């Protein structure tokens, strides 16, 4: 039967050719789902569409179900089998690097870089009218995107092959060695400078690259270039894996001075700060009150109500196109709301939020230990959902169990039929709502989750942008460079602007040098929480052994009824309950974090090494 079908099909094909074979238009028919290269670069709209397509390499920004925060001491990923522990437990290797999403993947980044190179090659001599300087704009966008994708490769892998043109068929050699770190940084900086010049004064829609985005990227990469990990001598002194590596120039600078590099980082950051169309609530002369500080920080996280002025370049999401990036509430929200608790904050992160008076939180302080969520940095309340925190109305099937809408991550005594019994909170892994999606740490992510009651469950999406670059990041970059150059007074001035906006007091003038550096690093940790900075910051500062190497932990909370109190329907109430809080490490069977020096950079995958014999593997692999 199959043979007969093929014969009939062939006969039909021959007959069809006989009818149409003399028609030249038939054999020259263009595919309906494709556009030829010649057509693309002969039409301004198609050329713009091609460049727009290159933005796809940005993925969901950082709004994936699995987030980079869970490779750090910010959060832990709740669900098993996602290869995250391969990295957090120090088991990465060239055959199995661990969880690597599309915005980190070597092949995906080079795919986008090739698209940039194609665009730049064809836009050099466009075959369409350059109306409103569209050519310059598209060149600027392509150069920014190429710089961004190279910066992704560099900060994950070190020096990589610089490919600045599209390869053609029939070339003698398609293999390329790794360029040095310094060559890669210089290449990225030049693309940023070219992009900024091409986009200067161009009115861009949100979500597309502009002059500010190019300058912000330049600021970031030059800050990295000045850091410990990018200085070959410093890296060798701090890492046994780097000390044994014979190709130091691939991973860091072997010439020049740190002071020169910090000066370049300072000046690049200042160029961003001089852009007067950006910045939000950084002109306060004194700390905002707590509620105002919370509002200011939430406006930035939501990119609304003026807070969008802090966001320089972002990945946007709209209801008309439902994407995973619009499901952060589902991915990270409490299981008592039928959400998935994906990336749950760890106690290490919670403990690093200062008290409202600017002092450190300490479990050794009885007042802190008895009420750990009172009088904390206002940013804490916008970033973390904790036991007793007010949140959205519960879904209809749960509302009767929690009419006051408070997060419940502990166990509590209640009186049922005249007898005391202990119940598990609705947002625990023993929840009566869902017991499989609860947080292991006792916390949930609040930052970036729209607080609107209309967006409460897995059937609704939010429109919160992912911030690739914030004006505040440039402020922090500037302050860091100032500190490293010994300009502490100016650094404190800029850091205090961020703190005042958040409702935090000024840094004491007595804090200088190493003490100011530590204060700055914690300020950066808190201000940029969950924004994919911690992974890179701990590495470039080379403090990963004492930060990422710590065991992930959480909180165990117990509520015991005070004498004479009877509660049948639980709610957080210190007048009825005595609460105890105990910090506990995550079960090693769930995740047993361990730092290995080789993981300052990811391994180049074995398949890529096999394809290109000119590559040199990173140290420790």
CA distance 339 to 434: 9
The pLDDT value given to residue 20: 42
The pLDDT value given to residue 455: 83
CA distance 56 to 49: 12
CA distance 136 to 141: 9
The full set of domains in the chain, from first to last, is: 38-253 (1.25.40.390), 337-461+553-585 (no CATH)
Q: What would the pLDDT profile of 467-502 be if each residue is shown by its tens digit?
A: 999 999 999 999 999 999 999 999 999 999 999 999
Find the DSSP H helices in 541-593. 544-547
Q: Would you state the structure tokens that stand for residue 126, as one six-digit string?
A: 């466009």
CA distance 198 to 215: 12
Q: Would you state the structure tokens that stand for residue 406, as one six-digit string?
A: 């408070």
The pLDDT value given to residue 32: 64
Q: Which residue has the tokens 């691939």?
A: 250
Q: What would the pLDDT profile of 120-139 be if each residue is shown by its tens digit?
A: 999 999 999 999 999 999 99
| pLDDT over 90 (residue 6) | no
Residue 414 belongs to what H/E stretch? strand 411-416
Question: What strands lie across the sheet with 419-424, from one edge to the other?
Answer: 419-424, 411-416, 553-561, 577-585
**Mean pLDDT for the stretch of residues 98-106:** 95
Q: What would the pLDDT profile of 392-402 be if each residue is shown by its tens digit?
A: 999 999 999 99
Q: What would the pLDDT profile of 283-338 be if each residue is shown by its tens digit?
A: 999 999 999 999 999 999 999 999 999 999 999 999 889 999 999 999 999 999 99
The backbone torsions φ and ψ at residue 422, rounded to the nearest 5 degrees and listed phi first, read: -110, 130
Residues 6+ apart with CB under 8 A from 112: 54, 56, 57, 145, 149
The chain-wide mean pLDDT, for the chain, equals 94
**pLDDT band for position 5 (cuts 50, 70, 90):** very low
Q: Would you state the structure tokens that stand for residue 468, as one six-digit string?
A: 């690739």
CA distance 387 to 555: 10
Q: What would the pLDDT profile of 162-202 be if each residue is shown by its tens digit?
A: 999 999 999 999 999 999 999 999 999 999 999 999 999 98
CA distance 139 to 48: 10
Residue 556 belongs to what H/E stretch? strand 553-561
Residues 6+ apart with CB under 8 A from 368: 355, 361, 362
Q: What would the pLDDT profile of 421-467 be if each residue is shown by its tens digit?
A: 999 999 999 999 999 999 999 999 999 999 999 887 667 799 999 99
| pLDDT over 70 (residue 28) | no
Q: What would the pLDDT profile of 517-553 be if each residue is shown by its tens digit?
A: 999 999 999 999 999 999 999 999 999 999 999 999 9
**pLDDT band for position 34 (cuts 50, 70, 90):** confident
| pLDDT over 50 (residue 11) | no
The model's pTM is 0.94
**pLDDT band for position 231 (cuts 50, 70, 90):** very high
């Amino acid at each position: 039967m199959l043979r007969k079908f093929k014969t009939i099909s062939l006969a039909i094909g021959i007959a069809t050719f006989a009818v149409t074979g003399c028609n030249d238009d038939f054999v020259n028919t263009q595919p309906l789902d494709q556009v030829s290269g010649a057509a693309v670069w002969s039409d301004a709209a198609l050329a713009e569409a091609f460049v727009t397509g290159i933005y796809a390499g940005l993925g969901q920004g950082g709004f994936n179900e699995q987030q980079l925060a869970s490779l750090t001491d910010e959060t832990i990923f709740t669900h098993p089998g996602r290869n995250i522990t391969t990295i957090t437990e120090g088991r990465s290797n060239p055959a199995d690097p661990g969880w690597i999403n599309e915005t980190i993947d070597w092949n995906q980044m080079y795919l986008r870089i090739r698209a940039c190179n194609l665009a730049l090659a064809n836009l050099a001599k466009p075959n369409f009218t350059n109306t409103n300087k569209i050519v310059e704009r598209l060149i600027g966008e392509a150069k920014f995107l190429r710089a961004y994708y190279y910066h992704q490769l560099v900060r994950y892998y070190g020096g990589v092959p610089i490919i600045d043109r599209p390869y053609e068929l029939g070339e003698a050699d398609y293999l390329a060695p790794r360029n040095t770190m310094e060559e890669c940084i210089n290449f990225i900086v030049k693309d940023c400078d070219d992009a900024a010049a091409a986009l200067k004064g161009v009115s861009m829609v949100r979500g597309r690259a502009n002059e500010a985005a190019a300058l912000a990227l330049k600021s970031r990469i030059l800050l990295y270039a000045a850091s410990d990990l990018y200085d070959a001598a410093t890296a060798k002194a701090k890492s046994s894996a780097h000390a044994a590596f014979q190709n130091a120039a691939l991973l860091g600078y072997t010439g020049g001075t740190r002071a020169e590099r910090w000066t370049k980082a300072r000046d690049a950051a200042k160029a961003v700060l001089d852009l007067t169309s950006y910045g939000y609530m950084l002109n306060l002369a004194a700390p905002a009150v707590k509620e105002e500080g919370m509002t200011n920080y939430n406006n930035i996280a939501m990119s609304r109500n003026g807070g969008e002025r802090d966001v320089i370049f972002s990945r946007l999401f709209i209801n008309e196109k439902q994407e995973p990036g619009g499901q952060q509430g589902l991915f990270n929200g409490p299981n008592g709301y039928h959400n998935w608790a994906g990336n749950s904050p760890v106690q290490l992160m919670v403990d690093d939020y200062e008290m409202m008076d600017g002092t450190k939180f300490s479990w050794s302080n009885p007042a802190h230990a008895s009420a750990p969520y009172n009088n904390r940095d206002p940013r804490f309340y916008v970033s973390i959902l904790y036991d007793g925190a007010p949140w959205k109305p519960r879904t209809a099937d749960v509302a009767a169990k929690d009419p006051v809408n408070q997060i419940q991550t502990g166990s509590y005594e209640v009186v049922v039929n005249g007898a005391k019994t202990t119940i598990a909170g609705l947002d625990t892994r023993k929840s009566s709502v869902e017991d499989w999606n609860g947080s292991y740490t006792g916390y949930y992510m609040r930052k970036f989750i729209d607080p609107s009651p209309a967006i409460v469950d897995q059937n609704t999406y939010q429109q919160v942008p992912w911030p690739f670059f914030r004006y505040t990041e440039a402020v922090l970059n500037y302050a860091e460079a100032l500190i490293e150059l010994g300009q502490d007074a100016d650094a404190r001035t800029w850091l205090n602007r961020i703190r005042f906006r958040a409702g935090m007091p000024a840094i004491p003038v007595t804090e200088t040098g190493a003490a100011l550096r530590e204060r700055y690093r914690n300020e950066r940790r808190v201000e940029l929480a969950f924004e994919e900075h911690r992974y890179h910051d701990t590495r470039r500062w080379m403090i990963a052994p004492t930060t990422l190497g710590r065991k992930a932990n959480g909180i165990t909370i117990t509520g015991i009824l005070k004498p004479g109190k009877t509660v049948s329907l639980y709610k957080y109430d210190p007048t009825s309950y005595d609460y105890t809080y105990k910090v506990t490490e995550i079960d090693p069977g769930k995740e047993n974090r361990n730092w290995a020096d080789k993981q300052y950079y990811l391994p180049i995958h074995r398949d890529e090494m096999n394809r290109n014999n000119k590559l040199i593997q990173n140290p420790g692999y």
